[in-house]
Structure 1
Amino acid sequence: MSQRHQTRTLPAELAAPAFVAGWRTRALVIGVIFAAIGIVLAFLSGDGWNHFFRAWLLGLMITFGFAVGGQALLMVQYLSGGKWGLLVRRPLEAMSRTLLLPVLYFIPIAIYGVTYGKLYLWAQYPNAAEAAKQKLITNEQAHAIIFKHGLLNPKVFWIYSFVAFAIWFLFDYLLNKWSLQRDADPEPRVPYWQTKFENISGVGVVTYAILLTGCSIFWVMSLDPTWYSTVYGLQFLVGQGYGVLALVILTLIGLSPAEPIKTIFRVTEQHDLGKLCFAFTMLNMYLAFASFLIIWSGNSPEEIPWYLDRIRGNWGVIATLDVIFHWLIPFSLLLSRDLKRIKGRLVVVCCIMIFARCWDMWWLIEPNFADARRNLHFSFGMLEYATVPVAMIAIWMAYYFTQLTKRPLVAVNDPHLAEILEPEHAHA
């Protein structure tokens, strides 16, 4: 009988392989180099620091998406069940434990953007009516700032953001604590732990959706106070799942040459994760296109400027590339059954997905500002988007790799462990 069809045995050593430390070192080096370049660029442009913090907001949203999105996908897995959870649980837990770094990333945005009013018009011009008279903002912007003042003000911004972080920290603490306790349980009480995780995850997923909607409104949507969208939070929710799943697959494939992932990461589960990527890609496509279609068909003067800001003045090129990177390429490639079962090809798709997530976030953020909307142009400041987010993501990745080494990569009391150690079928 071939090794492919033999029952596998879990190795005695379940810790992350030694080469993960090398990943962490390389990530730190990349982070330091790109951070230095970003600071230099900020001094080379007259408006360099403003662009620096715009790019910082992009880096915040990507790393925040990995940390909180990792927690959310972890809870979804507990609710849905399935043996794929045994593979993704430790990477997702490691992501969730990195939340402290996005919190630290958030503080400069809150101080620079809100306290000093450098990014958000509603913070820069609290007296919107007077600012409109002086032609500092448009009448439409003034009306929106006045109408939304009960929500869009510095006090609510700070309180909501830190309450949200505190709640997510609580869920992180409980999920990670109970995971270790289940591993240490001398009697694998499957119904007990399953019920315990399902109960907290049910509450957690609903709470996540509510809190994320508010954070996406405060941190990104309110950059343009005239814009509103009922699906904005849902788009961020799906986008986080899209990026997190791609990173989880990259992590597992990277770990698969060594034990213990080598033993449990079968082609069957790799194929299943690829199919889940395909599902997130389709859902992402649907939400983005549906939002555009509704506004296009309504043709309301209050709504269409947001899209016009992002397709005119050469931004149409960026929007077209966004469609290609974000949806067309992943969708087309993930249609292939063989691609989802070949590690090297799946790695390429997942890298494209993460890059596309960053590209899409840039398209969402940058045209909110007066000098950029309907006016895509080169400047040293624009280069910040190629340096600052890379530095922030690289440093976050180093922290993520550190967390990945803190715990065994396999949950030994998982009820699906025996199933995932079974031999694959001959047709798999």
Structure 2
Amino acid sequence: MAHVIHAKTLPADLNAPAFVGAWRTRALTVGAVFGVIGIILAFLANDHFQHLLRSWLLGFMITLGFSIGGMALLMVQYLSGGKWGLLVRRPLEAMSRSLPLAFLYFLPIGIFVKQLYLWAHYPDAESALKQGLISIAQAHAISYKKPMLNVTAFWVVSLICFVIWFLYIRTLNKWSLQRDQEVGLELPRDTSTNVPFWQKRFENLSGFGVVVYSITLTAGAIYWVMSLDPTWYSSVYGLQFLVGQGYGVLALVVLTLIGLSKGEPIRTILRTTEQHDLGKLCFAFVMLNMYLAFASFLIIWSGNLPEEIPWYLDRIRGNWGVIATLDFIFHWLLPFSMLLSRDLKRNQKRLATVCRLMIFARCWDMFWLIEPNFADARRNLHFSFGILEYAFIPTAMIAFWMAYYFTQLQKRPLVAVNDPHLAEILEPDHAHA
């Protein structure tokens, strides 16, 4: 006798479950505790303000990566299509709408730009060189790059990037709501009449948007991180940040969905099939991240040019080799090895563990990128209260960002009801076996 497979139905309430509010409260508590400890450590450090700014820059880059990375992955999903988009759309939209907080995090960096960046602190490179404050290589780089590396250009480029991102985020979120409002829950699920219109509209916006995002992210990465060392340049620097943001955002999305699946409506639509697909996508980003980082290192190592190798030597010598080795283990080796397992990607608890590791590894990698740029830290990893700020200030900033993210998550239904894949994703798992 044939067995009839009945499709699942969506619950009446598509809003975020009540426990998301508890997540928000927990995040605010963590942010407050870590923030207080970070401020105390700042006063205990020898150069408390300098280390506070450095750790603030780390927190800014991580939270900004979640915000605009969420926007970018949202556009990639609109271009690629697929059922997985129905699951990740609302979390990605909530991430993107957290950009105002990331902009507030940027303001101290822009205000105290002269305390962070050598080119801003010594705009007259020739005079600084005569006084022995900078090296010949630094003076040459600052003078040569002065048309780009100056405080005015820093502010102008930064503000242009944020304005562009705000416009794209506003448009993507606005259109998403407009599409859902065309079909209510009480109406038939056949949305074939408006699918081509919205699909084409989102594809047109996202296709150009991904290009614009890549350009603006590259500009931001150059000004905010790469220019910490004015002598360093890399043609793949922006691409590494782009992939790194996808790496972290995807891990956070999967972690969010696994948490939300403990309640409705995500419990109904998060099937093992799509969870496995998201795990495979995480694996793809791990491999791409690994490829870009190793390829960059291999090219510079094989070239062995005096103007290029100091950047890596600053991050390997003087006990930094330990940080670099752990970065390789956390960032690539462990996630790569664990995500090879098919069973792990289908097990929520184990997949959540890998995603937490990926987010931690992203923070660890940013620390390795930022701290050795400064004279007291390059080739000289040593314990100080200032170093401890990297553990507390960014954690507080990320926690406050998470609280804002959870707030945004509660503002919209978690399921896009006007999605052409909705009927398919409501089918039982074994219907596609």
TM-score, scaled relative to structure 1: 0.98
- Partner of 1:41 in structure 2? 41
Match 2:377 to one of 366, 372, 384: 372
- Partner of 1:205 in structure 2? 210
In the alignment, the residues of structure 1 paired with residue 266 and residue 430 of structure 2 have an alpha-carbon distance, to the nearest angstrom, of 19
- The answer (yes or no) to whether the contact 1:86–1:410 under 8 Å persists in 2 is yes
1:272 aligns with 2:277: yes
Match 1:232 to one of 231, 237, 250: 237
In the alignment, the residues of structure 1 paired with residue 122 and residue 372 of structure 2 have an alpha-carbon distance, to the nearest angstrom, of 19
1:14 aligns with 2:3: no
Per-residue deviation, residues 59-102 of structure 1 (Å, max 9, x unmatched): 00000000000000000000000010000000000000000001
- The answer (yes or no) to whether the contact 1:31–1:391 under 8 Å persists in 2 is yes
- Partner of 1:250 in structure 2? 255
Q: CA deviation at 1:382?
A: 0.6
Overall identity of the aligned pairs, in %: 74
Q: Compute the RMSD of aligned alpha carbons.
A: 1.4
Q: CA deviation at 1:425?
A: 2.0
2:159 maps to amino acid: F
Q: CA deviation at 1:6?
A: 3.6
In the alignment, the residues of structure 2 paired with residue 305 and residue 225 of structure 1 have an alpha-carbon distance, to the nearest angstrom, of 12
1:50 aligns with 2:55: no
Per-residue deviation, residues 249-280 of structure 1 (Å, max 9, x unmatched): 00000000111000000000000000000000
Q: CA deviation at 1:45?
A: 1.5
- The answer (yes or no) to whether the contact 1:128–1:142 under 8 Å persists in 2 is yes
In the alignment, the residues of structure 2 paired with residue 235 and residue 94 of structure 1 have an alpha-carbon distance, to the nearest angstrom, of 24
1:132 aligns with 2:126: no
TM-score, scaled relative to structure 2: 0.97
1:27 maps to amino acid: A
Tell me, what secondary structure is at the counterpart of 1:376? coil
Per-residue deviation, residues 297-326 of structure 1 (Å, max 9, x unmatched): 000000000000000000000000000000
- Partner of 1:413 in structure 2? 418
- Partner of 2:160 in structure 1? 163
Regions of 4+ moved over 4 Å: none
- The answer (yes or no) to whether the contact 1:245–1:277 under 8 Å persists in 2 is yes
In the alignment, the residues of structure 1 paired with residue 415 and residue 73 of structure 2 have an alpha-carbon distance, to the nearest angstrom, of 17
- Partner of 1:120 in structure 2? 117
- Partner of 1:67 in structure 2? 67
In the alignment, the residues of structure 2 paired with residue 409 and residue 226 of structure 1 have an alpha-carbon distance, to the nearest angstrom, of 47
Q: CA deviation at 1:226?
A: 0.1
Segments of 5+ residues of structure 2 without an aligned counterpart are: 184-190
1:46 maps to amino acid: N
**Matched positions, count:** 425
In the alignment, the residues of structure 2 paired with residue 91 and residue 53 of structure 1 have an alpha-carbon distance, to the nearest angstrom, of 30
Tell me, what secondary structure is at the counterpart of 1:387? helix
2:39 maps to amino acid: I
Segments of 5+ residues of structure 1 without an aligned counterpart are: none
- The answer (yes or no) to whether the contact 1:5–1:425 under 8 Å persists in 2 is no
Per-residue deviation, residues 346-377 of structure 1 (Å, max 9, x unmatched): 01000000000000000000000000000000
